[in-house]
Amino acid sequence: MNLYKYCFFCMVFLIMPHIVSAESYGGKSDSYKKQSDLNWVIDRQHIQTPRGGTTKGLKPELDSNPSEYYIKLSKSKNTKDKDRYAILSMIGEFRSNFEFTEMFGSEFDYQLDSPYKSWGTEMVIPLIVEENLISLQHIIMMHFTGDKGEIIQSHVVKHWRQDWKFEDKNIFTYQPDMKWVNVIQNSVKGTWSQSVYQVDDTPRYESYGKWIHGDGGSKWISKITPRPLPRREFSVRDDYDFLSGVNKITILPWGWVMEEMNDKITKNNNYVGSEYGIARYQKIKNYDFDEANKYWKSTKEYWKEVRLSWNKKLDNESVVCTNKLVDSKPSYVFYFTEADVFAKDNNLSLARENIKNITAKFHKKNCG
């Protein structure tokens, strides 16, 4: 497995939009498009070439039927049950489209970066489903196609993970550089926290908010959430140090949408610019996820141990700091290499020892 190939897929999402009626500005539109026929919603590619993934993949078949959890969500009368069914409605197989567009900057002649666009096909599977804790794992399964539409390569990548906790008072809040501080929250009644983890289960960010349910769908809006730069940014930008944004997740009959409204901030709290992002997950059917299921079956015990190694730090320490690189390599290179080894030999005791060593390399015991 070429570990750097998967960097193409390392994307992070989540947002809050401004909603206006169709007739609020400029009168009623005379041009409408089916949303299922569109890949991109925010667009300026006619004047600026987007960056991101351009690989052609096998076109999936969209599924317009609501999931079993969405049906339960629609029928339930209990607020907490509706919250849980909304979270569980993110389980399934999806076509995911990702757009991030820099909208404006602080300087008069600020140069807007190229919009970022990419897409994938991925499945979301439950790891833990309890009354007050739900953990969901994303796994990308892409079938790449040639000019004639033939499959030329298939690729599996363990993607990000999200953990949801009910009335969670301990919110790990990101601070630059690579530092997470446990901030105790008092007003959490009826809220759910969402913790987002990197592709290798190292921490990324956490926030909390309330679910709001209506006939057309359900939405969760976070508090303002600082987080480290995603790969699509830190690999090309060095003029700011972290993102501070509001996240929104909307659950719909045909899938779900994550949105972000992010400010780009420097270490000394200077504002640089803002971006809007959207990740749209549309339900699909009859897509071949066999290789993704095989990968997860062969490595899930390994990744469980990785989760445990970091959960011990996050659950028992008030401040957690990590090294960005060890031997000029990020943590995912080490973890994914050992995951491939485990898939072949299935030696859990050896895997635990290797995971312990990798985690020790990247976890800073003393940080300011």
Q: Which amino acid is at 106?
A: S
- Per-residue pLDDT tens over the stretch 74-85: 999 999 999 999
- Per-residue pLDDT tens over the stretch 132-180: 999 999 999 999 888 888 888 889 999 999 999 999 999 999 998 899 9
| 247 contacts 221 by C-beta, under 8 angstroms | yes
- Per-residue pLDDT tens over the stretch 292-313: 999 999 999 999 999 999 999 9
| 178 contacts 323 by C-beta, under 8 angstroms | yes
Confidence band (pLDDT; 50, 70, 90) for 37? confident
- Per-residue pLDDT tens over the stretch 184-230: 999 999 999 999 999 999 999 999 999 999 999 999 999 999 999 99
pLDDT at 3 over 80: no
Q: What is the mean pLDDT of residues 253-270?
A: 97
State the Cα torsion 191-20-229-273 to the nearest 10°.
Answer: -130
pLDDT for residue 205: 97
- Per-residue pLDDT tens over the stretch 100-133: 999 999 999 999 998 999 999 999 999 999 999 9
pLDDT at 365 over 90: no
pLDDT for residue 22: 30
Q: Taken in order 122, 87, 284, 97, is the CA torsion positive or negative?
A: negative
| 199 contacts 339 by C-beta, under 8 angstroms | no
Mean pLDDT check: name the lowest of 43-52, 151-160, 329-338.
Answer: 43-52
Whose tokens are 């699909």? That residue is 284
pLDDT for residue 200: 97
Confidence band (pLDDT; 50, 70, 90) for 14? very low
In whole angstroms, what is the distance from residue 314 CA to residue 317 CA? 6
pLDDT for residue 31: 64
Half-sphere exposure of 320 (CA within 13 A, CB side): 24
10 Å CB burial of residue 323 (0-12, 13-18, 19+) is middle
Which residue has better confidence, 52 or 311?
A: 311
Q: What is the mean pLDDT of residues 11-16?
A: 29
Q: How large is the angle between the packed helices 68-75 and 79-88, nearest 10 degrees?
A: 160
pLDDT for residue 46: 81
Instruction: Report how far apart, in Å, the C-alpha atoms of 126 and of each of 91, 156, 336 are.
Output: 7, 18, 21
Q: Are strands 116-129 and 92-105 parallel, antiparallel or unpaired?
A: antiparallel
Mean pLDDT check: name the lowest of 53-57, 87-91, 244-248, 292-296.
Answer: 53-57
pLDDT for residue 17: 28
Estimate to the nearest angstrom the gap between the alpha carbon of 364 and the chain centroid: 25
pLDDT at 13 over 70: no
pLDDT for residue 263: 98
pLDDT for residue 134: 98
- Per-residue pLDDT tens over the stretch 339-362: 999 999 999 999 999 999 999 999
pLDDT at 12 over 50: no
In whole angstroms, what is the distance from residue 198 CA to residue 195 CA? 10
Instruction: Report how far apart, in Å, the C-alpha atoms of 316 and of each of 320, 321, 367, 368 are.
Output: 10, 13, 15, 17
Average pLDDT, the chain: 89
CB atoms within 10 A of CB 31: 4
pLDDT for residue 90: 98
pLDDT for residue 70: 98
pLDDT at 2 over 60: no
pLDDT for residue 368: 61
